[in-house]
Chain A
Amino acid sequence: MALISMRDFSFAFPGSQQILRNVSLTIEEGSFTVLLGPNGSGKTTLLQQLHPVLAAHGDRTGEILWRGKNVSRETSDAVASRIGFVMQRPESQIVTDKVWHELAFGLENQGLGDDVIRRKVAEIATYFGIEEWFDKDVSELSGGQRQILNLASVMVLNPELLILDEPTAQLDPISADNFIQMLHRLNYELGVTILAAEHEVQKILPFASAMVVLTGGKISAAGAPRDIIPDILKHNPSLASAMPVAAQLYWESHSAASRIPLTVGEGKRWLKSVGGDGAVAETAAGTATSVTQSTTSKGEGVTVPETPVTLSARDVWFRYDKNSPDLVKGLNLHVHEGEIFALVGANGSGKSTLVSLLSGVNSPYRGRIELGGTRIERIAPRELYRNFLGVLPQDPQTLFVQKTVAADLKDVAKRRRRKDDRDELRLQESIERGAEALGLMHVLERHPYDLSGGEQQLAALLKVLLLRPRILLLDEPTKGMDEVAKQRVIDIFHELQRQKVTTVFVTHDVEFAARAADRAGMFFNGDVVSVDRVHPFFSTNNFYTTSASRIARDRYPDAITKDEVIACLTRANS
């Protein structure tokens, strides 16, 4: 039975163009629906329109039905109380200062007594595993814990429908996994109907019973994942790269197998089933090597670029207080000029500490960090951040200070160099060129805060790039980005590389690291361990590696990105 549905629904903010166009959508009771769409396709607007209280005001046509009945002014409160909503940013939806109070907040709003609230809060805290941090302040929690708290404080109201707007976009991969597992449990054990917007579908899709694709405010496909994924792969190239790697491999190799694989396990089994003969594997492995142009093979040792070292850390130790534990312990890192270097594996405090050290915000208590051969402390701040070191911080919002993206970009471009860039026209031109390359033309006149998470990242990146840095340090550059945006970032990286700009980025996105970087290092326990070129790096890693490598490593041990595996497959086929 349909729990909630939209019929021929259109929406526009007053005085602007339509965001949703003739959307018809049905969410079945007990289903787990994933809403998929590129950045800025109207996902958030659609989800908010389904919630009577959160629906923005504007021109609405069409209707929304709850259990087959039109949601009217009289019934909207009743419907709202049956829907739970979790937003993207974990921080900004927490209301109170204590975990227990946050859980009780919704129940207090219903005017319930202490005994009832105590019972419900205890129940929900136990179900979500919150007991250990039940008495804590919310400011002490990690991002993952905060998002679990948001989910729990919505679930305590016992909603029938749970709507989530990119709930894992701001989380590290382990917290994201936990969160998705929790959603699966709610759906599987309690029968809660779930509608979640995501663009990172790899992890969530195996649990989904239905999938809806939204492009440009219109529904372009809807149905069971296995039914519609082939369609997307065939007709929608911009979304195709967001599909599970296994499905893409299956599709690109024109496989004859009847069932499309969605998970790594299914992908592995499928690859075994399509001709596992040794000769093929051997030649394919050879091809893979040539395709990937890997300069190393096992036993040859690590090759390093020949250009001089431009960013180096030697025996760096750091802690925040005299009595707090060391967060960085004897870290060594050498990045060469013009190199693209990925640091993976760091999470929580380790990551932000690392970025703050490499960007000169904090100083190590032992060891030295050098940029271009000079100790970072010796470089005057004025010199350091102008035309030398560009840093993209974790929260891109903190970079924006103007009312429109265009004004913000202009603000920074104005102050990079004195003479040759002063000229208004050249300035405008460089902004437009950058915006064009990053696909930001359509958002230039918007307020920076109104952009989607991925668009904010892109705009912030452009802002940093307009300072013309020689060394670029990026903290989670792809957070919230769709596949198209990621590809644009990779293109920018390569363009910068041609200009001998060094790029170092810290990321959780292994797929992105494998595609974008030359070399990669793993940050673990306060040190960078196992630095290597990306191909040997990911192909020797067993756990911390790309999906493509996990699926195909038995046959093509050197292929780490899905394009490489596809290249190997097509060669083997022909």
Chain B
Amino acid sequence: MRWMARSRDSFSVAHPAVNFAFYAAVLGISMFCLHPFVLGISLVSAILYGAFVRGWRHMARLLGVFIVPGIIVVAILNPTFNHNGVTLLFTLSNGNSITLEAIVYGVALAITLAVATAWFVSLNVVLTRDKFVYAVGRVFPTASLILSMSFRFIPLFLRQFHDTTVSQRYLGHDMRSARWWEKIRIALTVTSSLFTWSMENAIHVSDSMRARGYGRRHRSSYSPHRWDTRNVLLLVVIASLAGITIVATANGGLAAQYDPTIVISGIHAAPSGVWTWLGAVAFLLLANVPVAVRLFDVYLWKRYERALRLGPGTRRQTRWSVVLGSDDVSAEKQKEKVPQWR
């Protein structure tokens, strides 16, 4: 399984708009549609992609330490507060009733939280700071400059804070060994020094900005990201799959009601229709777009390597089996000649 974590993540190098569209669609649908199909697909896909990006160990630890205990806690807690529902299981000594509906709803709620947690694992890696700045910039150009300047200033400030503290130590003002009233005085000294430094730094930065023409004309907001065919294609795929899922939900194909009675299309008290299966399949595909993109690139690279190995004119003969590594023709050759991509 190690090759999974080692292969390159093609989805995170896609255009930020594609990344944002994907997470908005997947998280939005998972939050608003509490159908078991959607939640199950979402959780499994999130864990799968998380494992690709951060490795199985990380995901296993997250599952064991946070997600599974979290599900159990919420599933137990919900019925003790929530007493709605028609199927009475038993009555507690204080007169509160525990209902089946409340328990099931608790589980669904817990899984929703788990889904969000699991998706955020990959989101943290994929949506880097500069993509965030970019996204803000498309909407509010000035805000994005302020964000970018803040991200510049924070490490600088922290370093200055460290240096000033150390310098004060050199002058005999040591926080660690000082008495409490001295500690307050040292802290005040450091704070006032940092304040002066920040003002000074701000003057230099504003000089540097004005000297480079800031404020003289209307500003544009440059983005180093480019739209290419692949990004457009990805966006179209994400949009249409999300569209199908939403339409399916709207038409009751993925309807889920937990209170006062449980009505879940395709599972309980409601028949499954075309919309149910269409919606579920669309969402399954949607949630696995990043993994698919990644695997597709693995395949492309394998094919490329094979073509190099066999010489020109042989690219077409590549089979899908290559992806899985069970290349019957030249498994031996491959080991000798070509450094494996992993």
Measured CB to CB, the residues of A under 8 A from B are 51, 53-54, 77, 80-81, 83-85, 87, 89, 91-98, 100-101, 104-114, 117-118, 121, 137-139, 153-154, 157, 356, 359, 361, 380-382, 385-386, 390-391, 393-395, 397-401, 412, 415, 449, 463-464, 467
Contacts and interface: CB of A to CB of B under 8 A. Distances in A.
Contact of B222 (A92, A108, A391): A108
Nearest to A91: B156
13 contacts: A53-B211, A54-B211, A92-B201, A95-B149, A96-B145, A97-B133, A107-B222, A109-B209, A109-B219, A157-B212, A397-B197, A398-B160, A398-B193
A381 B204 CA distance: 35
Contact of B205 (A53, A93, A106, A139): A93
A404 to B, nearest CB: 12
A97 B152 contact: yes
A93 B169 contact: no
Given A112-B220, A139-B156, A361 B169 contact: yes
Contacts, number: 156
Contacts of B156: 91, 139
Contacts of A89: 204
Interface in B189-222: 189, 192-193, 196-197, 200-201, 204-205, 207-222
Nearest to A469: B170
B60 to A, nearest CB: 22
Given A97-B148, A114-B220, 5 more contacts: A53-B210, A96-B145, A98-B148, A109-B217, A137-B155
B259 interface: no
Nearest to B223: A114
Given A98-B148, A109-B217, A117 B222 contact: yes
Contacts of A449: 196-197, 200
B216 A77 contact: yes
A109 B216 contact: yes
Interface residues of B, number: 50
Q: Is the interface of B mostly helix, strand, loop or mixed?
A: helix
- Among A80, A84, A95, A398: residue with most chain B CB under 10 A: A398
A153 B209 CA distance: 11
B170 A92 contact: no
B164 interface: yes
B217 A111 contact: yes
Contacts of B204: 87, 89, 92-93
A156 B201 CA distance: 23
Given A53-B210, A101-B148, A393-B163, A400 B193 contact: yes
Contact of B170 (A80, A108, A359): A359
B171 interface: yes
Interface in B113-154: 129-130, 133, 145, 148-149, 151-152
B167 interface: yes
A12 to B, nearest CB: 20
Contacts of A415: 172
Interface of B: 129-130, 133, 145, 148-149, 151-152, 155-156, 160, 163-164, 166-172, 174, 176-177, 189, 192-193, 196-197, 200-201, 204-205, 207-224
- Among B148, B201, B212: residue with most chain A CB under 10 A: B212
Contact of B167 (A87, A111, A393): A393
B174 A401 contact: no
Contact of B169 (A77, A101, A110, A385): A385
A381 to B, nearest CB: 4
Contacts of A105: 209, 212, 214
Nearest to B130: A98
Contacts of B129: 97
B15 to A, nearest CB: 13
A381 B166 CA distance: 12
A436 B223 CA distance: 55
A542 B299 CA distance: 56
Contacts of A51: 211
A361 B204 CA distance: 30
- Among B174, B189, B224: residue with most chain A CB under 10 A: B224
Given A96-B148, A398-B164, A449-B196, A154 B212 contact: yes
Contact of B166 (A104, A117, A361, A382): A361
A393 B222 contact: no
Contacts of A97: 129-130, 133, 148-149, 151-152
Contacts of A54: 207, 210-211
Given A109-B213, A117-B222, A400-B193, A87 B160 contact: no
B213 A87 contact: no
Contacts of A467: 171-172
A399 B171 contact: yes
